Structure 1
Amino acid sequence: MASVASPPRLLPLLLALSLLLGARRASGGCYSAIFSFGDSLADTGNAIRLGGLGGPTGTPPYGRTFFNRPTGRFSDGRLIVDFIAQGLGLPLLRPYLGGGSSEDFRQGVNFAVAGATALDLSFFREKGIQPTWTDKSLHVQIQLFKQLLPSIAAGRDPKDVLNSSLILMGEIGGNDYNQPFFQGIKLDEIRPFVPSVISAISSGINDLIELGAKTLLVPGNFPIGCVPVYLDIYKSYNVEEYESDTGCIKWLNELSKYHNRLLLAELDRLRKLHPNVMIIYANYYDAMISFFRAPEVFGFKAPLHACCGSDGPYSVNRNAPCGHRNAKVCSDPSSSVSWDGIHLTEAAYGTIASSLLEGPHANPPLTRACSSTRQNAVDDF
């Protein structure tokens, strides 16, 4: 029988699958666990257990692609954290608020909560902004982890647990800008938040290093000017406000790049303070912006439109969001970058995860970092 070429829309998933399988073989199980912190981009089911914070993620069509049911993930399937866990030969992370025994959390646990900010809510109240989102900030998530860690260690030195674990620090920080933007706060008032956001992330990294963390993956911010909800809110007839090669909003992407520049500088400072700790920057910005510059390479069509949404501009309508009875779902989520106008599809997340496991959007790639971790363990022995 003659071979049949794979349709272009399947290429991202096939690529992700092949890279993940290769990563799993390469890892050799050198990470004993993954501990994850962050917001809805990493939340595997915490917010849904806090009531309304989970939004529509407890109902179809969320979860339709991989799990065939809603799981509380803000996507049609797996998230980056899921692909990384599978690629490194570890089970999918249980949400902390889902409960479980210390044994259930031995190989990892996820503290990420949709809507979470890097900064505590008191910061926003002091700025005259009334928080309407979760109080499970990065600091709160790390405090919960500190409380759980002794039971996970089960009589061992907790540092030994952290020494052989991978820490996923987010993504976190995006909601520190999203939430005020969605309340109508102007850019000139939000941009000064960035140094404080970076400081909060840095403080969290330091806390985890003090606990014994040796390998941390710290993502930057996505290009928010390419997010359909933002494109809808800030749509303009002025072509100068848009990037000519992507169609994304320039000034919003500039905010993301500013955040990432400050984060990179802070990570360099932390590396000098902790030379024996591997702090890996996850370049979410470049990984995602490539989808808009050359969507056909990844099998994406209409990359600035949501797959699940309505007939409004960019396929989003705030009166009929994904999960609403009047919302519609595209026939092939794997051909879309955006799932619901804010969060990404499994196809997009899988492609980004592959670029972190094998490169080029993590330096070193996680599989190489994994090998280094294993070698260090041998040297220490």
Structure 2
Amino acid sequence: MQSSDLNMMMSCAPTIVRIIGGTIKELLDQGARTVVVPGIIPMGCLPAILTDFKFHGDNSSFDLKTGCVETYNKLSRYHNSLLLKAVKELRVKYPHAKIIFADIYKPVMNFVRFPQRYGFTSRPLIVCCGKGGEYNWLSFAMCGSPHVHVTACQNPSTYLNWDGLCLTETAYRYITKSWLRGPYADPPILDARTK
């Protein structure tokens, strides 16, 4: 990714967050009392994006510790910081409502950094259901492709990535628990429900 591309995507983030904030405001104005606002995942860790960067020979953007594309992760962090700020502003305007920020970035980065701690393979960026390439992901041979024989791994619960764009059920289960009880929801969903 060239810096001009990243700058263009960064410049779109405030508009996207403003639209999300407006939608939350509409929900609250119509009577919603609890709203969960999820952030976005570290896009630079998606096998689809990783494959594209490898294909174009752009190795300068890779984080050597995680194997992810740092420029995309920077964009994800920026978006999430703007979204959290919007959530905090809405909490002031709607003190009667419970507005929960659900962070998906941090748990996914923990999965990538410490995969075996969560029971994932030591190569968490590999796709379970895919075919070919360094990450088992090719755009013309995606999971469910009608004209290409694509198989799933034997034990999906040990994989972080299902198809290069979505996580596995196991990953989502960990994330859900972290949102329900903490620490990756502010406030934890179950705490907000009981107060």
**Is 1:306 equivalent to 2:127 in the alignment?**
yes
Alignment of 1:7-46 (within 5 A): none
Q: 1:286 aligns with which of 98, 106, 121?
A: 106
Indicate the residue corresponding to 2:79 in structure 1.
259
Identity of aligned residues (%): 38
**Which structure's CA Rg is the greater one?**
1
Offset, 1:365: 1.1
CA distance in structure 2 between the aligned counterparts of 1:284 and 1:251, rounded to whole angstroms: 18
CA distance in structure 1 between the aligned counterparts of 2:162 and 2:93, rounded to whole angstroms: 40
Of the structure 1 ranges 235-244 and 262-271, higher mean CA displacement relative to structure 2 is found in 235-244
CA distance in structure 2 between the aligned counterparts of 1:191 and 1:362, rounded to whole angstroms: 24
Indicate the residue corresponding to 1:357 in structure 2.
180
Task: Map Cα deviations across residues 317-370 of structure 1 (whole Å, 9 max, x no partner).
Answer: 111110123212111100111101101110111110010011110122111111
**Is 1:232 equivalent to 2:51 in the alignment?**
yes
Amino acid at match of 1:274: Y
- For the residue of structure 2 that corresponds to 1:186, the secondary structure is helix
Task: Map Cα deviations across residues 106-125 of structure 1 (whole Å, 9 max, x no partner).
Answer: xxxxxxxxxxxxxxxxxxxx
Indicate the residue corresponding to 1:203 in structure 2.
22
**Is 1:268 equivalent to 2:88 in the alignment?**
yes
**Is 1:316 equivalent to 2:125 in the alignment?**
no
CA distance in structure 2 between the aligned counterparts of 1:336 and 1:260, rounded to whole angstroms: 25
Unpaired runs of 5+ residues, structure 1, are: 1-180, 373-381
> What is the TM-score normalised by the length of structure 2?
0.91
- Counting matched residue pairs gives 189
RMSD: 1.7
Q: 1:220 aligns with which of 27, 34, 39?
A: 39
Amino acid at match of 1:318: S
Unpaired runs of 5+ residues, structure 2, are: none
Amino acid at match of 1:200: I
**Is 1:335 equivalent to 2:165 in the alignment?**
no
CA distance in structure 1 between the aligned counterparts of 2:12 and 2:137, rounded to whole angstroms: 28
Offset, 1:231: 0.3
CA distance in structure 2 between the aligned counterparts of 1:365 and 1:288, rounded to whole angstroms: 17
CA distance in structure 2 between the aligned counterparts of 1:196 and 1:286, rounded to whole angstroms: 23
- For the residue of structure 1 that corresponds to 2:95, the secondary structure is coil
**Contact in 1 for aligned 2:53/2:59 (Cα 8 Å):** no
Offset, 1:239: 5.3
> What is the TM-score normalised by the length of structure 1?
0.48
Alignment of 1:1-381 (within 5 A): 186-235=5-54, 240-301=60-121, 302-324=123-145, 325-372=148-195
CA distance in structure 2 between the aligned counterparts of 1:358 and 1:224, rounded to whole angstroms: 25
Task: Map Cα deviations across residues 202-252 of structure 1 (whole Å, 9 max, x no partner).
Answer: 000000001111111101110000000000011276654222321111000
CA distance in structure 2 between the aligned counterparts of 1:276 and 1:293, rounded to whole angstroms: 38
Task: Map Cα deviations across residues 117-160 of structure 1 (whole Å, 9 max, x no partner).
Answer: xxxxxxxxxxxxxxxxxxxxxxxxxxxxxxxxxxxxxxxxxxxx
CA distance in structure 1 between the aligned counterparts of 2:43 and 2:159, rounded to whole angstroms: 16
